[in-house]
């Protein structure tokens, strides 16, 4: 999958059947012959030729966009959100808000959109807005193609690639290899992080952060061209500063410092990986891998015999927000940035939907009739609640910057407000069965779009596109006031 030498898994590693989607059990039972050996990839070690690493640029106000996980739902909502920002004229005039975005941070499905945008958006010489404030034809075409590319049925393509390539047993490592091949061939192309760095340095694309999880130690693994210290925010230093300003001194237990360090993301350079020749499609695949169906991806570095296993970027934070937040807090701590704005396009599957389903369920759970992803989702919900309390409490205490200096806006797909008469309902949704007859029906329909790498309903695709435009307009005043450096009205918190 990666560039570099591929080594086969040792004979001592026994074959493990992954849990297969129900539709594949019969087919796989008929064609089982032997366990295909998953591939382990040897990545190039960092050296003098590692030239794509770039430090954070000093600027007054930095803007970042976080794109959540959620399969094709997240990918399409993310692309529509970027388009909506592209149509929003900045308070400085002439350019759009999207042109002020310096960072994209993504998880899983959101990574498909983030990577495509960073690799394929028109060069900076191409204006995004015309003189009359409307989007230029070049960008209208780009965003139309963007949506079409992301609407592909990646899920069926993965299954057929597994079967067609003789990967009869859908073991998760081979599924990751197939997904990487599909994303490279049909969406992202062969672009590498060196290509991304060149685009970033010429002003053609924002800096990309693709988040995955290292299963070795539970740390966030951040694929990026930034320097290793880019997200190493020193929380203890800011805590000390806040306490000292109030005449309080404290001694911290060592375990507290270690716990904080465990939350900070790990960059490729920290594992001695040269990210420059690494294909972007591989990083996106790692972030989107969800064991035991797909991945994790296993790799080793240079001539070392240590193995690393990475996958599922949304394991404990599905927003793509945390690494971006730490990156901005680090820049503010180093006085490289005065103010920061994070726009979080969140299309995570709402937990309340599963609540309703379970209240009406009497039959037992089996592999064939229930989505067991709800189990890790319980942990994610608790982690999100604690994270929100942690952030808001420390903001109140003056440890973290206030909303005037560091603003996070959550742009949730089910938060779009619809007209009572549904005159704003997309044409593709006007003949649904059962019909969408109220704003509540539309919000429920959005909430129930499943997490798959396929978007089967044309109505759902149009709903996501319209919802993204709506939530941007609903938060338009807050966004523009922040960028104009004026006191902002209160926006949605989480």
| Biggest CA pair distance of the chain | 73
Tell me the C-alpha distance between 118 and 191, whole Å: 10
User: Which residue, chain included where needed, has tokens 């074959």?
Assistant: 15
Round to whole Å and give the CA distance between 368 and 239. Answer: 49
Claim: this prediction has a pTM higher than 0.85: yes
Residue 355 has a CB neighbour count (10 Å cut-off) of 10
243-246 contacts, C-beta under 8 A, 24 or more apart: 245/398
**Tokens for 346?**
């969140």
Q: What is the pLDDT of residues 139-177, one digit of tens each?
A: 999 999 999 999 999 999 999 998 888 775 567 888 999
Give the model's confidence band at 39: pLDDT under 50 very low, under 70 low, under 90 confident, else very high.
low
What's 186's DSSP letter? I
% of the chain at pLDDT higher than 90:
70
Residue 10 pLDDT: 33
pLDDT in the model for residue 169:
56
Tens digits of residue pLDDT in 258-310:
999 999 999 999 999 999 999 999 999 999 998 888 989 999 998 888 999 99
**Whether the Cβ atoms of residue 168 and residue 32 lie closer than 8 Å to each other:** yes
**404-413 confidence digits (pLDDT tens):** 999 999 999 9
> Does pLDDT of 24 surpass 60?
no
For every residue of 172-185, DSSP letters joined together read: HHHHHHHHHHHHII
How large is the average pLDDT for residues 373-385? Answer: 80
For the stretch 209-229, pLDDT in tens is: 999 999 999 999 999 999 999
Instruction: Give the pLDDT confidence score for residue 170 in this predicted structure.
Output: 60
Categorize the per-residue pLDDT at 37 as very low, low, confident or very high, splitting at 50, 70 and 90: low
Provide the pLDDT for residue 28: 43
pLDDT score recorded for residue 449 = 93
The DSSP secondary-structure symbol of 8 reads E
Q: Which of 41-50, 156-165, 198-207, 244-253 has the weakest average pLDDT?
A: 41-50
- To the nearest 10 degrees (0 to 180), the angle between helices 154-164 and 22-31 is 10
Please say whether the beta carbons of 199 and 119 come within 8 A: yes
């Amino acid at each position: 999958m990666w560039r570099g030498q591929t080594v086969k898994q040792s004979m001592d590693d026994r074959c493990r059947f992954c849990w297969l989607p129900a539709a594949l059990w019969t087919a796989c039972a008929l064609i089982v012959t032997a366990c295909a050996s998953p591939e382990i990839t040897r990545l190039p070690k960092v050296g003098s030729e590692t030239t794509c690493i770039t430090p954070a640029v000093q600027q007054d106000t930095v803007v970042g966009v976080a794109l959540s996980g959620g399969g094709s739902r997240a990918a399409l909502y993310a692309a529509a959100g970027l388009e909506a920002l592209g149509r929003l004229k900045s308070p400085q005039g002439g350019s759009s808000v999207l042109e002020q975005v310096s960072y994209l941070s993504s998880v899983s499905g959101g990574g498909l959109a983030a990577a495509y945008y960073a690799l394929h958006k028109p060069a900076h010489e191409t204006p995004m807005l015309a003189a009359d404030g409307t989007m230029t034809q070049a960008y209208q075409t780009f965003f139309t193609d963007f949506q079409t590319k992301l609407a592909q049925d990646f899920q069926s393509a993965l299954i057929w690639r597994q079967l067609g390539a003789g990967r009869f047993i859908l073991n998760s490592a081979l599924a990751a290899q197939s997904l990487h091949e599909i994303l490279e061939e049909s969406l992202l192309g062969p672009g590498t992080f060196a290509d991304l760095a060149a685009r970033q340095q010429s002003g053609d694309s924002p800096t990309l952060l693709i988040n995955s999880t290292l299963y070795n130690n539970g740390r966030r693994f951040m694929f990026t061209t930034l320097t290793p210290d880019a997200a190493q925010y020193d929380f203890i230093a800011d805590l000390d500063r806040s306490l000292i300003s109030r005449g309080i001194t404290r001694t911290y237990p060592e375990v507290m410092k270690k716990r904080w360090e465990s939350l900070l993301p790990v960059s490729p350079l920290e594992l001695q990986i040269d990210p420059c020749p690494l294909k972007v499609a591989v990083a996106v695949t790692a972030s989107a891998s969800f064991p035991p169906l797909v991945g994790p991806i296993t790799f080793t570095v240079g001539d070392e015999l240590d193995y690393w296993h990475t996958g599922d970027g949304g394991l404990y934070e599905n927003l793509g927000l945390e690494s971006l937040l730490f990156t901005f807090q680090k820049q503010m701590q180093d006085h490289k940035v005065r103010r920061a704005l994070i726009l979080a396009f969140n299309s995570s599957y709402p937990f309340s939907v599963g609540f309703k389903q379970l209240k009406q369920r009497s039959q037992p759970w089996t592999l064939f009739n229930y989505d067991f992803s709800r189990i890790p989702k319980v942990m994610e919900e608790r982690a999100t609640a604690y994270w929100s309390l942690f952030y808001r409490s420390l903001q109140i205490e003056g440890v973290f910057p206030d909303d005037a200096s560091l603003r996070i806006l959550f742009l949730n797909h089910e938060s779009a407000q619809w007209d009572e008469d549904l005159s704003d309902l997309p044409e593709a949704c006007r003949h649904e069965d059962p019909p969408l007859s109220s704003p509540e029906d539309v919000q429920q329909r959005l909430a129930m779009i499943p997490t798959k790498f396929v978007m089967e309903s044309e109505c759902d695709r149009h709903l996501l596109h319209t919802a993204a435009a709506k939530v941007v307009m609903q938060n338009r005043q807050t966004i523009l006031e922040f960028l104009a450096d004026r006191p902002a009205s209160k926006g949605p918190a989480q």
